[in-house]
């Protein structure tokens, strides 16, 4: 993990292990993907951004004390009990949803 990634988690260092697990799974499946660290999110990129991680900005009832938000830019909904808050994109637009 590089310094930009570590700096992103400076406000919530206990979330680094969650990010490391997601990063390992994403890069294991898409080894050609790059990582772009911005001020508000970390993006996984392969031609275009396809997965995004960010830290929660406020506590949400019934969620763990430490968690990260993982969003996928898809053109369809994924059904899974592991998805906390799926969002549907308009028919003519791919919009990230919170998974």
Q: Which residue has the higher pLDDT, 24 or 56?
A: 24
* pLDDT tens per residue, range 44-92: 999 889 999 999 888 888 888 899 988 887 777 778 887 777 766 555 5
Q: What is the structure's pLDDT at 10?
A: 95
Residue 97 CB contacts under 8 Å (≥ 6 apart), including other chains:
71, 72, 74, 77, 85, 86, 87, 88, 89
Residue 86 CB contacts under 8 Å (≥ 6 apart), including other chains:
77, 78, 97, 98, 99
DSSP string, 3-21: HHHHHHTTT-GGGHHHHHH
Domain of residue 15 covers 3-98
Domain count, the chain: 1
Over range 26-39, report the average pLDDT.
96
Whole-number mean pLDDT of the chain?
85
Over range 91-98, report the average pLDDT.
50
């Amino acid at each position: 993990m590089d310094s930009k990634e570590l700096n992103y988690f400076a406000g919530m260092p206990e979330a680094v292990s969650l990010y490391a697990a997601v990063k390992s799974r994403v890069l294991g499946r898409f080894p050609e993907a790059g990582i772009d660290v911005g001020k508000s999110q970390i993006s996984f990129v392969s031609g275009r951004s396809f997965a995004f991680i960010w830290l929660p900005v406020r506590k949400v009832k019934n969620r763990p004390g430490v968690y990260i938000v993982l969003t996928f830019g898809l053109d369809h909904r994924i059904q899974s009990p592991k998805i906390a808050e799926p969002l549907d994109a308009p028919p003519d637009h791919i919009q990230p949803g919170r998974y």
